[in-house]
Structure 1
Amino acid sequence: MNAVKKVVILGGGTAGWLAAALLKKVLGSAIELELVESDDIGTVGVGEATIPPIRLVNQVLGISEADFFRETKATVKLAIKFENWKTQGESYFHTFGAPGRSLAFCHFHHLWQRAKKFGEQPSLWEYDLNYLCALAGKFAPINSKDAILELPYAYHFDAGLYARFLRTYSERMGVVRTEGKVVSVEQYTNGDVKHLVLEGAKIVSADLFIDCSGFKGLLIQDTLNTGFDDWSHLLPCDRAVAVPSERFEHTLPYTRSIAHSAGWQWRIPLQHRNGNGLVFSSAHYSEQQAADLLMSNLDSKALAEPRVIRFKTGRRRKQWYRNVVSIGLSSGFLEPLESTSIHLIQSGIVRLIQLFPHHGNTAGLQAEYNKQSEVEFTQIRDFLVLHYHVNQRQDSQFWRDLQQLTIPDSLRHKIAIFRENGALFRDQNDLFLESSWLQVMIGQGIEPKDYHPMANNFEGQQLREMLEGIRRIKQEPLAKLPSHDEFLRRIMAS
């Protein structure tokens, strides 16, 4: 129960340096903070797409958006475009926005569903400002008090540059960086980690250790053996092959996710290059086949040789155990289909700050941390499984097998009630809003049999006019917004 005065972070990269920056910024002189990493150990470094909460993290750190764009070669992300996921040749968007304008007890899509009964109706996304801007290649922050004109956004950025930026920030704040490889881990008789022994016999001690050692989990798994919940039966992709390529002439303000016969390909636009990768099942593709498929489907010239990343989908059973907290890949891994990897780093650090054991480790703090972590990982897992399970492809065994999955009861229930009458309920603390679940379900072809009775309060012509008015309001900002590339030029010059 000794007070936590010193914290040691094992591992750099985005996880380590983001943990260092946030902990030092929030806790300040209350803790001494040291980060141990080795230049000889690489990082995965392909997490180049994010979701909107990263903007709040940057605000907490006091990082200006202009500095962030310059230092990380960032671009804007309004959405993900899913191509070939429902069937080959079809596509849909999952945007950060919400379609239309909802009523107090009735989501907009119920009105849209009823309007379809009166004849031809624009797609759901025609009422979504994020979609309209993504399609037009336009962006600038919109300052409006009307929620209907909100334009939520995130970033694409170079993860290596982001880690470097955060390192500079952290060291200026007083974080001490120690270079070295861990050769052994010493423990107290009760099992807590006592200190790290580095090459050259250097000893690094702490009251609390944060494991950011990547997939290996040097402290949380190799030392404390907390166990792992394997979710490969639900998300069978277990490999990725990644390669950078030359940037496009026009920079898209969205990520592309392109389904292939046994996996999917990402295309992420940055200012200085493009990020490309293929997530796949090794039971269906060899690593060479996957690399060949990726290289033959690049939109620009490759800048390096493709590299393979091997992973297992799942989570550590205890992400905080004894005096070790795992953050980032050491805590578990969910494939980057919805760009949640960096968010899970952020949320893990924020959770630790909220439950920080200032007066010493307690079972209660650990239990609450682990409970919240499990719920978060499980909810994201269900959302990812949704994309795969409700596909309608018949061109490969991979997709047909996914249609036959025995999915978790939590996901089965959510799909079932949406099929009945379009009902959507956000679970407590679910990262994804109702609008996210709606777009994926509609995009993947799940059509509700009915709609909310409040939609019947509007007659046909009245309903059409109301929806057309909402559609016009959503389209109005487009004429005033600059192109995405023009926005980037302006902010880089500011």
Structure 2
Amino acid sequence: MKIAVIGGGTAGYIAASHISKHFPQFNLYHIYDSTIPTIGVGEGTIPYFLTWLDKITNLSYAELEKRCHITRKFGISFENWGVEHEQFFHHFYPVGETYAYHISAVEIVNLLQEYICATKIDCQVIDVKSNGISANIIFANNTNLEVDLAIDARGFPKSFDDDYIQMSWIPTNAALIRQTPGDNDHLIELKMGSHLLKYQSATRSIARPHGWIFTIPLTNRTSYGYIYNRNLNSLSEIEADFDEFFLHEKITYSGQPKNINFPNFTVRNCFDGAVFKIGNTSAFIEPLEATAIGYILQQVEAISCWVLRAFAKVDQREKLDETQLRVFNQYFLNYAYKISIFVGWHYTMGSRFNTKFWEFAKDNFYQEITKLENDQLLEEFYSLLELAAQLPHPIENFPEFSSTLAEITNIFTALLAGFTKTFGQWTKPSFTEVGYGIGYFSN
């Protein structure tokens, strides 16, 4: 059985290393174009990434720190979002115990390639044709490769046809990236009512006049990104405010900044039976909640459980069941929608800045979300908000909030409390922390 992974970015290397580890019986091809540069910023992950990475590499934290410059991510510190609280925190759960990684996007690719057992093809792909049972990969050198399954991780589509849906309820579409030298002090201090919490490291999300800035600390450098709307503010305005932020933080950047335009979108059908689009090829949602790697892992695990396990039992593949294919595509369409709804909701209470961007961002979500094709998703969203409002205030009464979560010790109490109900990558406590943090529940 021939399987091809197309793409030399994070998604491509995650998919290729995953298949190499769990399905060594396949004839795997890893296809990439080494002339295409990677963005190379630091990346935030989710806690499950630690489990996945351990299965692939079995490396210790110390080894990963040395190879990929990782730091622990205990959550996201939001600063200046909404008008009620100067700062709030979106944890992983259990609070203070669970963490993810900040990791170098360049070095994780370098690491994962050591765990890939595949025929490597370094060549530009100009087209991938599919008949639903096999895929024909066309190369720029006029050669081709026919495979039973192609996993397409080539990045943003060059054009958007009717199978792509623009998520206009998210108000940003560009990022200016800067890097600073490494700093061993990544401590985050957080005042929660009368309690002062300290975390070794976390992602910061700082609202600014024209958008917001992320900081992702690695051991050798820190990535900063100013996320904004290029239709509302010029690059010179962003650069000027970025400079002001750096001056206030008493830091200087090094190297050449990168300005990146991005679409917020999802493909309607990510899988046609022979070609499976993953990562930025299938969807992209701005990095406010660092959902990209979690989304990739969800896709890779899903195709493994359904398709690859079935392929491993036969010598020749057959056409996949159309009903199952529709269910699979609808699941990932809804999953991308849910991520975009949760992210877009963060903007609805504005920030401490009364500017053109924030006036637009506050109103944009409710104006544009009406374009969503699935009313049931919004019903699920508002249902979870109602449940989330019942938990103790996570800022003004953090000890009670934390102890309430700790009491959910088994599946039965979790079911009764509504903790097993998910919306994309989040459960009820996430809605509670963000909702109270931005001031939504006080509205």
Using the TM superposition, give the Cα deviation of residue 95 of structure 1 relative to its aligned residue in structure 2, in angstroms.
1.3
Distance change (3 Å), C-alpha of 1:50 and 1:197: same
| TM-score, structure 1 as length reference | 0.72
Gapped regions of structure 1 (runs ≥ 5): 99-127, 131-150, 450-494
Using the TM superposition, give the Cα deviation of residue 241 of structure 1 relative to its aligned residue in structure 2, in angstroms.
1.1
Using the TM superposition, give the Cα deviation of residue 364 of structure 1 relative to its aligned residue in structure 2, in angstroms.
3.5
Structure 2 matches for 1:67-466, cutoff 5 A? 67-87=63-83, 90-98=86-94, 128=95, 130=96, 151-170=97-116, 174-185=117-128, 187=129, 190=131, 194-216=135-157, 227-232=163-168, 234-252=169-187, 253-298=201-246, 299=249, 300-356=251-307, 358=311, 359-362=317-320, 363-391=322-350, 393=352, 395-404=354-363, 405-406=365-366, 407=369, 408-416=378-386, 418=388, 427-428=421-422, 430-447=424-441
- Which AA in structure 1 matches 2:91? T
- In the alignment, the residues of structure 1 paired with residue 438 and residue 418 of structure 2 have an alpha-carbon distance, to the nearest angstrom, of 16
SS at match of 1:382: helix
- Which AA in structure 1 matches 2:60? E
- In the alignment, the residues of structure 1 paired with residue 383 and residue 427 of structure 2 have an alpha-carbon distance, to the nearest angstrom, of 17
Instruction: Kindly name which structure, 1 or 2, has the bigger radius of gyration based on alpha carbons.
Output: 1
| Conservation of the 8 A alpha-carbon contact between 1:226 and 1:321 | no
- Which AA in structure 2 matches 1:19? A
- In the alignment, the residues of structure 2 paired with residue 96 and residue 425 of structure 1 have an alpha-carbon distance, to the nearest angstrom, of 13
- In the alignment, the residues of structure 1 paired with residue 353 and residue 177 of structure 2 have an alpha-carbon distance, to the nearest angstrom, of 27
SS at match of 2:81: coil
- In the alignment, the residues of structure 1 paired with residue 323 and residue 19 of structure 2 have an alpha-carbon distance, to the nearest angstrom, of 21
- Which AA in structure 2 matches 1:96? F
Alignment correspondent of 1:34:
29
Distance change (3 Å), C-alpha of 1:71 and 1:364: farther
Using the TM superposition, give the Cα deviation of residue 301 of structure 1 relative to its aligned residue in structure 2, in angstroms.
2.5
Using the TM superposition, give the Cα deviation of residue 204 of structure 1 relative to its aligned residue in structure 2, in angstroms.
2.2
Distance change (3 Å), C-alpha of 1:184 and 1:283: closer
Would you tell me which structure has more strand in proportion to its own residues?
A: 2
SS at match of 1:297: helix
- In the alignment, the residues of structure 2 paired with residue 343 and residue 184 of structure 1 have an alpha-carbon distance, to the nearest angstrom, of 27
Alignment correspondent of 1:452:
none
Alignment correspondent of 1:58:
53
| Conservation of the 8 A alpha-carbon contact between 1:258 and 1:265 | yes
Alignment correspondent of 1:8:
4
- In the alignment, the residues of structure 1 paired with residue 229 and residue 325 of structure 2 have an alpha-carbon distance, to the nearest angstrom, of 35
- Which AA in structure 2 matches 1:304? G
Using the TM superposition, give the Cα deviation of residue 416 of structure 1 relative to its aligned residue in structure 2, in angstroms.
4.9
| Conservation of the 8 A alpha-carbon contact between 1:352 and 1:369 | no
Match of 2:14 among 18, 25, 46: 18
Using the TM superposition, give the Cα deviation of residue 331 of structure 1 relative to its aligned residue in structure 2, in angstroms.
0.7
Deviates more, 1:310-319 or 1:295-304: 295-304
| Conservation of the 8 A alpha-carbon contact between 1:393 and 1:400 | no
| Conservation of the 8 A alpha-carbon contact between 2:389 and 2:432 | no
Aligned residue pair count? 383
| Conservation of the 8 A alpha-carbon contact between 1:13 and 1:43 | yes
Q: Deviations over 1:215-266 (max 9, x none)?
A: 026xxx78xx56111112x102011111211122413311110011231101
Q: Deviations over 1:174-214 (max 9, x none)?
A: 212111112444x46x4766422323333222111111010
Using the TM superposition, give the Cα deviation of residue 82 of structure 1 relative to its aligned residue in structure 2, in angstroms.
0.3
Identity %: 25
SS at match of 1:259: strand
| Conservation of the 8 A alpha-carbon contact between 1:75 and 1:156 | yes
| Conservation of the 8 A alpha-carbon contact between 2:42 and 2:223 | no
SS at match of 2:101: strand
Distance change (3 Å), C-alpha of 1:76 and 1:421: closer
- In the alignment, the residues of structure 1 paired with residue 382 and residue 270 of structure 2 have an alpha-carbon distance, to the nearest angstrom, of 27
Using the TM superposition, give the Cα deviation of residue 74 of structure 1 relative to its aligned residue in structure 2, in angstroms.
0.5
SS at match of 2:183: coil
Distance change (3 Å), C-alpha of 1:421 and 1:431: closer
